[in-house]
Amino acid sequence: MARAFLVVMDSLGIGGAPDASEFYNGDLPDLGANTLAHIAQACAAGRAEQGRSGPLQVPHLEALGLGATLRLASSQPLPGFEATPEGLWGCAAEVSQGKDTPSGHWELAGLPVPWQWCNFPDADPAFPPELTDFVAEAAGATGILGNCHASGTDIIARHGAAHMQSGQPICYTSADSVFQIAAHEDSFGLERLLDLCRAVAPRLHKMKVGRVIARPFVGTPEQGFTRTANRRDFAIALPAPVLTNWVQDAGQRVHAIGKIGDIFTMSGIDTLKKGRDAQLMQHLAEAIDQAEEGSLTFANFVEFDSLFGHRRDLAGYARALEWFDAELGKLLPRLRPGDMLLLTADHGNDPSWPGTDHTREQIPVLVAGCGAGCIGQRAFVDVAASVAAHLNVAAQGPGRSFL
């Protein structure tokens, strides 16, 4: 039996979303945002030299068709990407009315989001008083701190000292459908934070808020605060079966790496391995060496998005892409005959764009192990249909296989 490895390079958009003008960073529509092109242009112009130098070097992604797929999606110039693709390549557009992690991943797994997400207004305060009262009571606190749209690192720097003194959780949101709760791992307690998120998540999910996110941090007011790797997402439950369920229900194994377990609330997942991206790459290598015949390995590499896209760090994003590409070069020769390795993304997060939020873009679809050629402009749901077809599993969603 065949095996499939579905790998999400979180936020590596390639521009050209047909509805980009309907999505915004502040007052600016996402029309013209292009994560990959703007990183490559900055590198070629010498504007991304921190920790690296020169044009963007991702030869393995390029050989699979990364440059070709961007040119299919967008008219943005992509300096230096001229290789003839050796894999299947194309681009895909999303229909869900969100440019967030659950929307992108659910749709990649065959399920467009069937409702409008609840997004909190960019106002001060951002949350209704009945919600903040509920959260404070669940925390055993006299109130909450934050109550606004914010960058996670900034709001912890602003309110960390007051949080440690008062015991009030720091609550904030973004343009995505999220309710984030930050708390100190020692003074507040990691398990207490996770219990708080579990307690308030059902109410927020009923409001159609996509995720409640625990954001633990450590440090002191004097030396500064640092978020830890113990983040936990409490996502809304899936309303219908998706790719992971299709594969598991067929009696085949599903292995999750990274955020996948949180995004899909462990639905249809047999094993889960988490960690920073360097650890996740090791887990992916182990899966390629050890995963059973007929299995699906579904991985998400989040640090492109969390460390560099949101922080508008062009050089950092370029470094991460070059690291990922070098690691990919070690993995490709380890694939077995009959394996599929499908590389894609879930949305954009253009580090050259104003604001700090995701950008509405098309995504690359690059496939190793299934021949070569252009698959054209596709839908996100076609990814799920194609992986299911490769694994000889019945697809239950609206997608069409490109195999």
Binding residues: 10, 305, 310, 346-347, 358
Whole-angstrom CA distances from 11 to 29, 89, 309, 339 are: 17, 18, 7, 25
Q: Are 6 and 387 in contact (CB under 8 A)?
A: yes
> Which residues have CB under 8 Å from 374's CB, separation 6+?
65, 68, 72, 85, 88, 89, 90
Residue type, 259: K
CA quadruple 72, 78, 79, 83: dihedral, nearest 10: -30
C-alpha–C-alpha distance, residues 216 and 54, integer Å: 37
Residues in the annotated binding site for Mn(2+): 10, 305, 310, 346-347, 358
C-alpha–C-alpha distance, residues 20 and 358, integer Å: 11
Beta bridge partners, 376, equal: 90
C-alpha–C-alpha distance, residues 41 and 349, integer Å: 15
Beta bridge partners, 297, equal: 5, 255
